[in-house]
Amino acid sequence: MVAAASVVVAVGTAMGMVSAVDDKKGNEEARPLLTQSPSLVPLPAVPSPSASKSSASPSPSKSSARPSPSPSKAKKKTTTKAQAVYSGLYRHPDSNVLEWVAANPGDPRASVIKSRIADQPAAVWFADFTPSNITGRVRAVASAGAAQGRVPVVVAYTIPERDCGGASQGGAPDLDSYDDWIDKFAAGLGSSEVIVILEPDAIAQAGDDCLSAGERADRFASLARAGRVMKEANPNARVYYDAGHSEWNSPSSQAALLRQAGAASAASSDGVFSNVSNFNRTSAEVAYTRQVLSALGGPASLGAVIDTSRNGNGAPTDGEWCDPDGRKLGQAPTLRTGESRIDAYLWIKLPGESDGCKGTPGDFSPEYAYELAE
């Protein structure tokens, strides 16, 4: 999308992460569309101050110069149920990058791509509107993470009028259908810890006048409901709301939008996420999300998670958002950031999955992945 657009690229074609999208076979398994990231092993040294999957993910958005297309607290939070102590983030075993590595063991780029991207945990995206099997597909990811004692990251991305009709357009046909889809999504979350990234761009972009006042209010009511439903279904679920990124709305403006969408209530929210599919430096996003949380109000337990997948060199100075040259991997995914109110650094967008300029949107590009990782 353009510099002022949303965080995601063309959905289904370019969703930047492991995406559990319906494979049309009628089965209830989570099958990532494009990419995802695995495991908590530290990355080999990568030049950068910060840290990224593809298939249903946003593209850089707004003004990341700044793209955007595109979420305890570094420690485990106390929940209402007794549960296992989780050692780290979950890596879903089905992704484009893992398939490429397995199919190309002799490629001279394979070892770098494997160790720095494929072996890292990344988000799993649910971006297709398929109410018939969404519960089983979400359950497959949540239960696999729980079985390993690790925390899955799942992205709900089917809001109606997604991306305001831009490159990532799609979603549920209407909000009633969306609410029903959310009920089914929540039913698959299980009872163990899971991080939910709720609708990238859906709040930040709503401030760009692509929705009428009434449409915006209805969307925000559905998002507030979504968080409540998920946390009622699984009290150990950590639900994060869209804060855009540091080059989009001001902290006070974004906080006002978030408040209308229920993000200040502990009944529906654990805080906010930022920088999805974007390139802004971690330090800028840490400062920005803290300002958003301060303006938002709500309980002190609210925190932020930041997409660090491709922000190692920061955003391009020329504002290019589509697979810009010179970008690097950011900080490896972790639940231990060492920063107050910053719950996690996550790879929500999977590095190496194209925004559409180094390949078909959402496709894994080994050339692009290697550029990011070397």
Region for residue 111 given its phi and psi (left: phi exceeds 0; alpha: psi -120 to 50; beta: otherwise): alpha
End-to-end CA distance of the chain: 26
Give the pLDDT of residue 58: 62
Question: Helix 282-296 crosses helix 251-260 at what angle (to 10 degrees)?
Answer: 50
Q: What is the pLDDT of residues 110-163, one digit of tens each?
A: 999 999 999 999 999 999 999 999 999 999 999 999 999 999 999 999 999 998
Out of 66-70, 205-209, 308-312, the most confident range is: 308-312
Catalytic-labelled residue, pool 163, 270, 307, 323:
163
Nearest to 329 by CA among 369, 284, 362, 364: 369
Nearest to 211 by CA among 221, 203, 223, 200: 203
CA–CA separation, 329 vs 281, rounded Å? 11
Give the pLDDT of residue 169: 84
Residue 37 has pLDDT above 80, yes or no: no
Question: What is residue 108's DSSP assignment?
Answer: T
Give the pLDDT of residue 22: 52
The helices-and-strands tally (H runs, E runs) of the chain is 8, 10
Residue 38 has pLDDT above 70, yes or no: no
The full set of domain ranges for the chain reads 18-373
Active site (annotated) includes residue 325: no
Residues 43-74, buried b or exposed e (16+ Cβ, 10 A)?
beebebbbbbbbbbbbbbbbbbbbbbbbbbbb
Region for residue 48 given its phi and psi (left: phi exceeds 0; alpha: psi -120 to 50; beta: otherwise): left
Give the pLDDT of residue 362: 83
Average pLDDT of 177-194? Answer: 98
Give the pLDDT of residue 32: 37
Question: What is residue 128's DSSP assignment?
Answer: S
Residue 185 has pLDDT above 70, yes or no: yes
CA–CA separation, 278 vs 296, rounded Å? 23
Question: Helix 251-260 crosses helix 213-233 at what angle (to 10 degrees)?
Answer: 70
Q: What is the pLDDT of residues 272-290, one digit of tens each?
A: 999 999 999 999 999 999 9
Question: What is residue 364's DSSP assignment?
Answer: B
Structure tokens at 122: 């990344």
User: Global pTM?
Assistant: 0.83
- Under 8 Å between Cβ of 53 and 15: no
CA–CA separation, 317 vs 325, rounded Å? 11
| Least trusted range by pLDDT, from 157-171, 304-318, 325-339 | 157-171
Active site (annotated) includes residue 180: no
In sequence order, what are the beta bridge partners of 238? Answer: 195
Catalytic-labelled residue, pool 22, 94, 201, 323:
201
* pLDDT band per the 50, 70, 90 thresholds, residue 210: confident
- Under 8 Å between Cβ of 346 and 306: yes
Average pLDDT of 321-348? Answer: 97
| Cβ count within 10 A of residue 78 | 7
Nearest to 280 by CA among 70, 1, 11: 70
Give the pLDDT of residue 24: 43
Q: Where are the beta strands (DSSP E) in the chain?
A: 18-19, 88-89, 124-126, 150-151, 153-156, 194-198, 237-242, 271-274, 303-307, 342-346
Active site (annotated) includes residue 201: yes
CA–CA separation, 268 vs 263, rounded Å? 7
- Under 8 Å between Cβ of 348 and 30: no
Of all residues in the chain, the percent with pLDDT exceeding 70 is: 77
Structure tokens at 328: 């690097």
Average pLDDT of 98-110? Answer: 97
CA–CA separation, 100 vs 349, rounded Å? 17
Structure tokens at 220: 């925000």
- Under 8 Å between Cβ of 300 and 333: no
| CATH class, 18-373 region | alpha beta
Give the pLDDT of residue 60: 64
| Cβ count within 10 A of residue 186 | 24
Q: Give the ranges where the chain is alpha helix by DSSP (H).
A: 96-103, 110-113, 134-148, 175-187, 213-233, 251-260, 282-296, 366-373
**Chain centroid to CA 103: how far?**
27
Q: What is the pLDDT of residues 40-98, one digit of tens each?
A: 333 333 333 333 333 456 666 554 443 334 333 333 333 333 334 455 999 999 999 99
- Give me the residue label for tokens 């209407």: 174
Give the pLDDT of residue 164: 85
Nearest to 218 by CA among 272, 270, 179, 165: 179
Give the pLDDT of residue 33: 38
